[in-house]
Homo-oligomer: A and B are copies of this chain.
């Protein structure tokens, strides 16, 4: 039986690995989970012993297939909960992350199934992130690319807003930056800040690099992968 904490580490590694093939370094995990490096090292020892991570000392870790399956289970719980909370308990998308984090380790298989059923087996959560299926196969690479990859004048559709900070999310929602919305890119500053106007809002919105990095968009030509 895995502890909640172990599950958190696996989930963190999974999230950090998202979209890359790089090994994840101790310090990245430490920053993600807000613990010290030695703490991470000792946890990685345990995860390695259980065959959940592949490790090269001093060089970071990757998840084994088994470790990835565990991570996907937790991510599935998390995103189903986010979807349920917005859909049935009137939560705002900016608020669901913290609540889902609290609950994701403590729901039964049965609960998971009932929630998925009540929602009609959704494939994306309120932020546009893919919900792993009940089979726990790794989902496709995330849709689209970061908005910072585009140039001034481009017209794109928001596919995913992967930020977790409620303040950032409220700010974005207020200005019409949500999955499914069309954006016109007005300016890309040299230091990475993107300014755009949403079809839902008069007021343009500026996304500092750290935020822009979490906003993934598709071009009209590109078929909506969740469609």
Contact = CB atoms under 8 A, between A and B. Distances in A.
A118 interface: yes
B90 A114 contact: yes
A141 interface: no
Contact of A107 (B90, B91, B102, B114): B102
A111 B88 contact: no
A118 B84 CA distance: 13
Contacts of A91: 114
Interface in A137-194: none
Contacts of A115: 89
A35 interface: no
Contacts of A103: 103, 106-107
A91 B107 CA distance: 14
Contacts of A107: 99, 102-103
Interface string A85-110: 00011110001001100110111101
**In the complex this chain forms, how many copies of it are found?**
2
Interface in A69-91: 88-91
Interface in A32-89: 88-89
Contacts of A89: 111, 114-115, 118
A89 B118 CA distance: 7
Contacts of A106: 102-103, 105-106
Interface in A97-133: 98-99, 102-103, 105-108, 110-111, 114-115, 118
Determine which residue in A90, A106, A108 has the highest number of CB atoms from chain B within 10 A of its CB, and name it. A106
Contacts of A108: 98-99, 102
Nearest to A103: B106
A95 B114 CA distance: 13
A111 B102 CA distance: 11
Contacts of A110: 95, 99
A97 to B, nearest CB: 12
